[in-house]
C-alpha cells in the first residue's frame, strides 16, 4: 500500500469477530453505510435527514444494533446528504467516537448544518480529524486513510467534494473502498496509493454523478463490485462502469434497496433488499462496443512424461475460453483443462499433468475463445518428451 504514518487502535471497544457485514442503506440521493462486526458497529455518513431517509437508517440500525451503542461514527465531508441524519442517530444511540475529514468548513447550502454542529458539540464526542496516510485498527478491521490529499481551500473550492475522506476498510484479503463524494479532479491524488490484492468493493463516489468515477479511477481500483447509493435509476457513472465491467457487477440502491456485502476476510456475498443474492468474485471487464475478437496462443514448452504442461493465450477480456488436448489415444481427461474466462487483461492459461504412460511425440491443442457472438479457434502443437517412463 501507500506509505503510512500513523497506526492507532480504536478505544477499548473493538471488533472481536472475524466477519463483517457492510450495509449500504437505501437513503435515496445520499450516503449511509453501517459496518456491523458482531457487537461493534460503525456508521459512515447518515443520509440527508429527510423523513424517508431517516426511516431507512432507523430500520437498519434497529435490526443490527442490540446494545444501543455505535462505537464509531464517521462523516466523509460536511454536506447535508451525508450529515443530515446524524441528529436522530445521536438522539437514539450512544456514540463513542467520531471521525471526520480535515475539511470542517460548514455546508452553507445545507440548512441542517447548525443543528448537526450543535448536536455534535452537545454529545461531547472525541472528534478525530483524519489525515492522509493514517492507519487505524479495530480488532481484525483495518482502516487506511487514502484521502483527501491537500485540501482545496480557495473560495471556488471551499468545502469541495474533493475534500471527502477516502477510506479503505480491510478484513483479511477483502477490501471496501469508500469514496465519499470525491470528483475526478480529486481522484488523481489517490493514484500514488497501491491497493492490496484481493476482492474490492467500490462505493461509487458522489452517488454516481458524471463528475466522478473516471476511467483512470477504475484502472487504479479495478473493483470487483461497485455500489451506487442513489435515488436515480440511471446515474451517469453507469455509462463508465458498463463500458468496463458487466452491469451484473454494479448494484444501485435505487433499484434493489439496501445492499449488504458480508465477508469473512476470504470471500464475500452480496444480498439486496429486493432479495437478490450474488457471490462477489473478480469483475469481468466488458469489451468495448464493436471490439473484434482475437486469439493468440503462445508456444507450449516441450514436456516430459509425468511433467506439467502449460498453455497460455491472450484474447478479449471476459471471453469464454476452452481447451482440448489431443494425444495419440484421444482427448486428455486431465484435471486443469476446464473452461475459463479471460481476466481483466485478456489473459487465460491452463496447466495439466502429462501422464507417465502418454506416448512421446507430438500432441495437438485446440483452444477456442467466444464472446458477443464471435468465435475464434487456434490449433497449436507441443512435444511430449520420452523420459523413459513405460508407455
- CA dist., res. 66 & res. 145, Å (int): 29
Q: Residue 211 contacts by C-beta under 8 Å, 6 or more apart in sequence?
A: 161, 183, 184
Report pLDDT for 162: 81
- 6-280 CATH fold: Metallo-beta-lactamase; Chain A (3.60.15)
Give the CATH number of domain 295-385: 2.60.40.2550
Q: What is the mean pLDDT of residues 219-226?
A: 87
pLDDT at 141: 92
Q: Encode pLDDT of 155-195 as tens digits.
A: 555 557 888 899 999 999 899 999 998 988 788 888 888 88
69: cell is 451503542
pTM across the whole model: 0.68
Stronger pLDDT, 316 or 278, i.e. the higher one:
316
Q: What are phi and psi of 262, to 5 degrees?
A: -105, 145
Average pLDDT over residues 122-151: 87
> What's the pLDDT tens digit per position in 353-372?
999 999 999 999 999 999 88
Determine the pLDDT at residue 15.
65
pLDDT score, position 338: 87
The rounded mean pLDDT for the chain is: 83
Closest CA to 351 of 293, 295, 307, 298: 307
Q: Is the pLDDT of residue 3 over 50?
A: no
Does the pLDDT of residue 25 top 80, yes or no?
Answer: yes
Number of DSSP helices (H) and strands (E) in the chain, helices first: 8, 28
Strands 277-280 and 347-353: unpaired
Grid cell listed for 45: 455518513
Query: What local confidence, expressed as pLDDT, does residue 243 receive?
Result: 60
For the chain, how big is the Rg over CA atoms in Å?
A: 25
How crowded is residue 266: how many other Cβ atoms within 10 Å of its Cβ?
A: 13
45-54, 155-164, 309-318, 378-387: the lowest-pLDDT one: 155-164
**The pLDDT of residue 279:** 54
The candidate with the shortest Cα–Cα distance to 177, out of 223, 209, 219, 239, is 223
CA–CA gap between residue 286 and residue 242 (Å, rounded): 7
State phi, psi for 122 to the nearest 5 degrees.
Answer: -65, -30
Instruction: Say yes or no to pLDDT of 324 above 90.
Output: yes
Classified as helix, coil or strand, 63 is helix
Q: Are strands 32-37 and 69-70 parallel, antiparallel or unpaired?
A: unpaired
pLDDT at 108 over 70: no
229 CB contacts (<8 Å, ≥6 apart)? 24, 25, 26, 27, 30, 31, 32, 33, 203, 204, 207, 253
Condensed to tens digits (0 to 9), the pLDDT of residues 40-97 reads 999 999 998 889 999 999 999 999 999 999 999 999 988 888 998 998 999 999 999 9
The full set of domain ranges for the chain reads 6-280, 295-385
For residue 7, pLDDT over 70 is answered with: no
Higher-confidence position of 61 and 288? 61
Question: How far is the C-alpha of 47 from the C-alpha of 28, rounded, in Å?
Answer: 8
Same fold, 6-280 and 295-385: no
Beta bridge partners of 376: 369
Q: Which residues contact 82 (CB under 8 A, 6 or more apart)?
A: 30, 31, 45, 46, 47, 75, 76, 180, 181
Average pLDDT over residues 242-260: 73
C-alpha distances out from residue 111 to 9, 117, 162, 166, 367, Å: 35, 11, 21, 25, 63
pLDDT of residue 285: 43
Which is it for the CA torsion 11, 14, 20, 25, positive or negative?
negative
- Residue 224: its pLDDT value, please? 84
Q: Which residues pair with residue 349 across a beta bridge?
A: 312
Amino acid at each position: 500500500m501507500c506509505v503510512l504514518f500513523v497506526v492507532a487502535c480504536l478505544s477499548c471497544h473493538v471488533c472481536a469477530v472475524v466477519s463483517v457485514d457492510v450495509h449500504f442503506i437505501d437513503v435515496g440521493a445520499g450516503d449511509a453505510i453501517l459496518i456491523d462486526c458482531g457487537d461493534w458497529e460503525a456508521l459512515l455518513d447518515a443520509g440527508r435527514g429527510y423523513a424517508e431517509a431517516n426511516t431507512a437508517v432507523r430500520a437498519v440500525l434497529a435490526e443490527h444494533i442490540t446494545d444501543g451503542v455505535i462505537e464509531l461514527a464517521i462523516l466523509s465531508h460536511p454536506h447535508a446528504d451525508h450529515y443530515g441524519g446524524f441528529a436522530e442517530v445521536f438522539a437514539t444511540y450512544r456514540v463513542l467516537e467520531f471521525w471526520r475529514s480535515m475539511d470542517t468548513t460548514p455546508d452553507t447550502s445545507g440548512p441542517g448544518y447548525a443543528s448537526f454542529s450543535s448536536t455534535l458539540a452537545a454529545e461531547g464526542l472525541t472528534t478525530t480529524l483524519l489525515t492522509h496516510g493514517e492507519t487505524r485498527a479495530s480488532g481484525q478491521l483495518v482502516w487506511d486513510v487514502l484521502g483527501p490529499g491537500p485540501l482545496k481551500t480557495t473560495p471556488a473550492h471551499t468545502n469541495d467534494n474533493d475534500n471527502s475522506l477516502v477510506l479503505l476498510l480491510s478484513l483479511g484479503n477483502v477490501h471496501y473502498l469508500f469514496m465519499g463524494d470525491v470528483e475526478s479532479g480529486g481522484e488523481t491524488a489517490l493514484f500514488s496509493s497501491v491497493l492490496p490484492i484481493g476482492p474490492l468493493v467500490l462505493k461509487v463516489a458522489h452517488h454516481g454523478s458524471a463528475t466522478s468515477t473516471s476511467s483512470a479511477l477504475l484502472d487504479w481500483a479495478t473493483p470487483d463490485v461497485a455500489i451506487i447509493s442513489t435515488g436515480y435509476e440511471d446515474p451517469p457513472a453507469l455509462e463508465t462502469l458498463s463500458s468496463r465491467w458487466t452491469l451484473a457487477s454494479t448494484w444501485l440502491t435505487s433499484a434493489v434497496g439496501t445492499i449488504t456485502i458480508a465477508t469473512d476476510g476470504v470471500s464475500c456475498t452480496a444480498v439486496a433488499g429486493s432479495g437478490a443474492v450474488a457471490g462477489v468474485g473478480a469483475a469481468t471487464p466488458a469489451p468495448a462496443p464493436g471490439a473484434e475478437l482475437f486469439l493468440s496462443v503462445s508456444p507450449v514448452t516441450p514436456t516430459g512424461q509425468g511433467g506439467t504442461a502449460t498453455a497460455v493465450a491472450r484474447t478479449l477480456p471476459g471471453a469464454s475460453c476452452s481447451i482440448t488436448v489431443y494425444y495419440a489415444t484421444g482427448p486428455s481427461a486431465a484435471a486443469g483443462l476446464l473452461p475459463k474466462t479471460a481476466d481483466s487483461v485478456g489473459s487465460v492459461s491452463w496447466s495439466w499433468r502429462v501422464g507417465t504412460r502418454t506416448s512421446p511425440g507430438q500432441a495437438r491443442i485446440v483452444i477456442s475463445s467466444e464472446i458477443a457472438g464471435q468465435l475464434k479457434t487456434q490449433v497449436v502443437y507441443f512435444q511430449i518428451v520420452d523420459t523413459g517412463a513405460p508407455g
